[in-house]
């Protein structure tokens, strides 16, 4: 606790200093996000969405196209199916509104179908079970949710390839794409489910699997400038790294901004779980590479290296993922000036996302505008997307709790 307090004291002092560094951000009326107002906004948008979507169905809202105000709905097999229940859990945690809890429980239970052996699944089981069942268990402490989340972790761990040392991310395209064992950067996020399972009554070996995945990814999937390849291809016979390519970025050598945000969030989590300083030093480098390329309103273009003509869409999801990660990293950091820097960047990112430019307001029932899902494949470009909203509400709630700690220290 003492260490946390020292870090936060320093954050307050150095926040001012860092405000003039690196990025020429035009401050909003106040860089201290009015977190209560923003969480009320999220709650109101959720209630609007619940009114609009079909009741008693297991279809879940995924995205809203640029010119629409209607949710595109998906079934539980979609990779994003955990985010809507996760949004509801965060909102319930903040408001204690029993109507929201009821909906969170109902949508969470829909995802049990993912355990059906007829559904093969892939690395996205991590997003799906962590955002829904692990949040449900964390908030309610109901052992039923824990039991289902542990079964989800078993299914995710079954994709681990000991020869390579990582999880096979996309089992469905291993042969068709000539990608015998592929590991995508997004997969870093899903180690959270394995670390959680290892310390919550699941197979303790999942800690080793998660750590192995992180280490092999760290050693192979980054360029010398600490940007990453979206997809790493490995040899299934000898386990060696063959090449790095992209699926959702501009090209194989470009830095897809959400991929970099997934890496920052993922390696922050790996440091949280292992306390191995090698990962902390590594995530500092990843963050530096991201911040060096960032636009002056803290919301990146969809790919840092995409040409500016025609106009590049932005991606609020990368910004929201990164803001949430940097709040946690500021808490874990042993270098106090960096801790202050990360806190300031996260705060400014949230202030920017909470401005008129990025919020849906009355236009649409989602939280945020201007997310980009998969530009090369031509969908969800400059849209509202559930995972942008999930990491936005997670970051707001983290910020609120951490601010509370700061205030408790001052009083
Ligand atoms: N995990 C897929 C994506 O980030 O678009």
Count of alpha carbons within 13 Å of 179, Cβ hemisphere only?
20
334 catalytic residue (yes or no): no
The CA-atom distances, in angstroms, between 226 and each of 135, 282, 284, 287, 406 are: 31, 9, 10, 9, 32
Q: Which residues line ligand 1 (CB under 6 A)?
A: 186, 248, 258, 373
Residue 164 has pLDDT above 50, yes or no: yes
- Alpha helices per DSSP H over 123-248: 125-129, 135-140, 143-157, 191-198, 205-220
Question: Does residue 178 contact residue 154 with C-beta atoms inside 8 Å?
Answer: no
Taking residues 85-104, what's their average pLDDT? 98
The CA-atom distances, in angstroms, between 179 and each of 173, 241, 245, 367 are: 7, 11, 10, 36
Query: Starting at the edge strand that comes first in sequence, how are the strands of the sheet with 60-64 ordered?
Result: 72-74, 60-64, 384-385
Ligand 1 centre from 182 Cα, in Å? 14
Q: Ligand 1, atom 5: nearest CA belongs to which residue? A: 373
- Residues of the chain with pLDDT > 70, as a percent, come to 91
Write down the pLDDT at residue 409: 67
Ligand 1 centre from 290 Cα, in Å? 17
Write down the pLDDT at residue 357: 97
Phi, psi of 232, deg, nearest 5: -105, 135
Lowest mean pLDDT among 119-128, 174-183, 351-360: 174-183
Taking residues 93-101, what's their average pLDDT? 98
Q: Give 161's contacts (C-beta < 8 A, 6+ positions apart).
A: 167, 168, 181, 234, 236, 239
Nearest atom, ligand 1, residue 374 CA: 5
Nearest atom, ligand 1, residue 258 CA: 4
How do residues 290-328 score in pLDDT, each as one tens digit? 999 998 999 999 999 999 988 899 999 999 999 999 999
Helix (H, G, I), strand (E, B) or coil at 161: strand
**Residue to mutate (ligand 1; options 78, 167, 186, 256; most atoms within 8 A of CB):** 186
Taking residues 328-344, what's their average pLDDT? 98
**Residue to mutate (ligand 1; options 187, 190, 315, 373; most atoms within 8 A of CB):** 373
């Amino acid at each position: 606790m003492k260490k946390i307090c020292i870090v936060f004291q320093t954050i307050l002092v150095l926040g001012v200093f860092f405000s003039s560094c690196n990025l020429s951000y035009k401050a909003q009326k106040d860089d201290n996000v009015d977190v209560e107002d923003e969480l009320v906004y999220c709650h109101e948008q959720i209630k609007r969405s619940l009114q609009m979507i079909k009741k008693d169905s297991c279809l879940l809202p995924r995205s809203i196209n640029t010119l629409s105000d209607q949710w595109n709905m998906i079934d539980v097999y979609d990779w994003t199916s955990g985010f809507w229940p996760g949004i509801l859990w965060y909102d319930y945690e903040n408001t204690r509104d029993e109507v929201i809890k009821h909906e969170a429980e109902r949508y969470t239970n829909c995802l049990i179908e993912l355990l059906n052996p007829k559904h093969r699944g892939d690395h996205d089981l991590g997003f799906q079970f962590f955002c829904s069942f692990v949040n449900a268990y964390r908030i309610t402490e109901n052992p039923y949710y824990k039991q289902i989340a542990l079964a989800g972790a078993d299914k995710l761990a079954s994709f681990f390839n000991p020869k390579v040392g990582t999880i096979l991310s996309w089992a469905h395209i291993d042969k068709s794409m000539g990608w015998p064992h592929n590991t995508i950067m997004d997969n870093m996020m899903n180690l959270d489910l394995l670390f959680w399972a290892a310390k919550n009554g699941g197979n303790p070996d999942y800690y080793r699997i998660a750590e192995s995945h992180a280490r092999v990814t760290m050693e192979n999937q980054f360029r010398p400038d600490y940007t990453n390849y979206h997809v790493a291809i490995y040899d299934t016979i000898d386990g060696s790294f063959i090449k790095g390519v992209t699926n959702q970025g501009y090209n194989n050598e470009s830095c897809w901004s959400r991929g970099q945000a997934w890496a920052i969030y993922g390696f922050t989590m790996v440091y949280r779980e292992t306390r191995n300083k090698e990962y902390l030093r590594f995530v500092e480098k990843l963050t530096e590479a991201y911040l060096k390329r960032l636009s002056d309103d803290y919301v990146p273009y969809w790919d840092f290296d995409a040409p500016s003509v025609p106009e590049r869409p932005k991606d609020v999801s990368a910004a929201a993922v990164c803001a949430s990660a940097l709040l946690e990293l500021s808490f874990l950091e042993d270098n106090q000036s960096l801790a202050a820097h990360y806190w300031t960047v996260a705060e400014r990112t949230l202030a920017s996302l909470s401005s008129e430019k990025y919020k849906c307001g009355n236009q649409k029932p989602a939280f945020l505008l201007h997310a980009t899902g998969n530009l090369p494949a031509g969908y969800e470009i400059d849209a509202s997307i559930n995972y942008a909203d999930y990491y936005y509400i997670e970051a707001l709630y983290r910020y609120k709790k951490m601010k509370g700690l700061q205030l408790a220290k001052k009083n």
